[in-house]
């Protein structure tokens, strides 16, 4: 396939299914809010923060996560959260994203002045403002551009401590006689019930439930009650899995958590990481798992830059397992993970892909469309299909304009 024009990648409709709100602030907004809220930063210029915190390369996952302590600190009010969500919606729209699923952990923002429910409502308000602005534009009204849609995904945490938020501190004190696994499970079940209430009673576009945090040592099994609860109420599920742990974590996400999508899935093919002694044929296990994911169309949310920054064993995109995922027909989507922390956009991620992975025209188109098909669209199935059809038509029109083959 010949070189794909950068402008084509920017203009085609794109989806971002895996993007963390607290990892995607504008640097200028972080500085302004920090000064307003009295949050101390290592620097108060964008250049200074890029040099000290939000780098292009990180020495470790610990260094990568350091920036979240600053972003989270300025997102403890509904006003600030709404602003961050609004600006994220604006930034996504500006680079051609037409479907956005924003995920965050509401309990990280809950305290004396803000409930977890109000944190979610603030995110919805911010994204709704960005949606209305774009959808009222002349280009959309003339059918020269697509409408923008969004959904919100609530994240439970695999593990937490009393220092991460007032909510977690209060919960840990109240359950001081319980073990950690029980406390983690209680928090996620409470979040699950909140998600169902917001989605079903308040009719908010809260479209999914996620599990984030450290995989190794903190199994999804601690959160089964939460996943069973949302599953029974028709809330779609995704799980951070296979990012820092092996195929067994992915297997558990699918079989125990009913995952409709997988966050990262990077170590899907890492047979050597399987620890269960009952698994004698590790390669066979991996092959069966990959075939199941492909046949059931369980989406994989790939975040290339983020993986390169946090997984030292992946030296370049050429070493990333996305090549094998595509080869096996898995429904892969390209996502940002954290726009600020990883200094990226969906357009940049698409450019990374096409510049480093040999793709046929059909494979490129399938990956773009997979982002929309795998989305937990906040509407009926018929409405979602109608929207995806518009996405395909728009892609075909731009492909013709830029001389990009379709097959």
95, 215, 243, 349: the catalytic one is 243
Active-site annotation holds for 243: yes
- Give the Cα separation of 377 and 387 in Å (integer): 10
Please name every residue paired with 100 in a beta bridge, in sequence order, or none if there are none.
16, 150
Please name every residue paired with 332 in a beta bridge, in sequence order, or none if there are none.
300
- Give the Cα separation of 272 and 280 in Å (integer): 12
Q: Give, in order, the Cα–Cα distances in Å from 217 to each of 90, 213, 220, 261.
A: 38, 11, 10, 22
- Give the Cα separation of 215 and 245 in Å (integer): 6
Element (H, E) at 333: strand 332-334
33 Rama class: left (phi>0) / alpha (psi -120 to 50) / beta:
alpha
| Phi and psi, residue 333, nearest 5° | -120, 155
- Give the Cα separation of 10 and 398 in Å (integer): 11
Cβ contact 339:307 at 8 Å:
no
pLDDT digit string, tens, across residues 311-364: 888 999 999 999 999 999 999 999 999 999 999 999 999 999 999 999 999 999
Domain ranges of the chain: 6-25+75-402
Strand locations in 213-364 (E): 236-241, 261-264, 299-302, 332-334
Structure tokens at 79: 């006003």
Query: So what's the pLDDT on residue 243?
Result: 85
pLDDT digit string, tens, across residues 233-275: 999 999 999 887 889 999 999 999 999 999 999 999 999 999 9
Question: Which residues in the chain show pLDDT less than 70?
Answer: 1
Q: Given the DSSP bridges, would you call strands 14-20 and 97-104 parallel, antiparallel or unpaired?
A: parallel
- Give the Cα separation of 112 and 139 in Å (integer): 44
- Give the Cα separation of 17 and 334 in Å (integer): 8
**151 closest CA partner among 330, 387, 394, 393:** 387
Give me the count of residues in the chain: 407
Cβ contact 140:134 at 8 Å:
yes
Biggest CA pair distance of the chain: 66
Please name every residue paired with 145 in a beta bridge, in sequence order, or none if there are none.
none
Q: Give, in order, the Cα–Cα distances in Å from 233 to each of 101, 116, 182, 207, 327.
A: 20, 20, 23, 11, 35
Would you state the CATH architecture of domain 6-25+75-402?
Answer: Alpha-Beta Barrel (3.20)
């Amino acid at each position: 396939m010949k070189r794909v024009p950068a402008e084509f990648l920017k203009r085609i409709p794109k989806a971002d299914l895996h993007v963390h709100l607290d990892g995607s602030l504008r640097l200028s907004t972080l500085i302004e809010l920090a000064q307003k809220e009295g949050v101390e930063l290592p620097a108060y210029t964008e250049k200074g923060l890029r040099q000290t915190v939000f780098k292009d390369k990180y020495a470790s996952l610990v260094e990568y996560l350091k920036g979240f302590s600053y972003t989270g600190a300025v997102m403890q009010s509904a006003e600030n959260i709404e602003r961050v969500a609004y600006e994220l919606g604006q930034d996504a729209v500006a680079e051609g994203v037409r479907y956005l699923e924003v995920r965050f952990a509401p309990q990280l923002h809950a305290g004396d002045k803000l409930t977890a429910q109000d944190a979610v409502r603030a995110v919805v308000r911010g994204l709704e403002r960005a949606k209305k602005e774009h959808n009222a534009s002349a280009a959309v009204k003339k059918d020269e551009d697509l409408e923008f849609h969004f959904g919100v995904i609530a994240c439970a945490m695999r593990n937490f401590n009393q220092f991460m938020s007032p909510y977690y501190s209060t919960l840990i004190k109240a359950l001081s006689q319980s073990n950690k696994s029980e406390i983690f499970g209680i928090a996620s079940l409470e979040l699950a019930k909140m998600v169902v209430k917001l989605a079903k009673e308040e009719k908010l576009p809260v479209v999914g439930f996620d599990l984030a945090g450290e995989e190794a040592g903190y199994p999804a099994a601690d959160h089964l009650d939460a996943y069973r609860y949302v599953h029974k109420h028709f809330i779609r599920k995704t799980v951070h899995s296979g990012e820092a742990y092996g195929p067994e974590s992915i297997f558990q996400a699918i079989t125990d958590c009913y995952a409709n999508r997988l966050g990262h899935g990077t170590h899907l093919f890492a047979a050597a990481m399987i620890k269960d002694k009952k698994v004698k044929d590790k390669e066979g296990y991996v092959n069966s798992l990959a075939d199941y994911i492909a046949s059931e169309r369980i989406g994989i949310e790939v975040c290339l830059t983020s993986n390169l920054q946090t997984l030292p064993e992946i030296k370049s995109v050429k070493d990333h397992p996305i090549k094998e995922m595509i080869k096996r027909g898995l429904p892969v989507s390209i996502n940002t993970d954290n726009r600020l922390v990883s200094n990226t956009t969906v357009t940049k991620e698409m450019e990374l892909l096409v510049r480093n992975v040999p793709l046929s025209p059909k494979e490129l188109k399938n990956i773009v469309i997979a982002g929309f098909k795998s989305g937990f669209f906040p509407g009926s199935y018929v409405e979602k299909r109608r929207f995806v059809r518009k996405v395909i038509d728009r892609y075909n029109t731009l492909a013709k304009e830029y001389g990009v083959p379709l097959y």
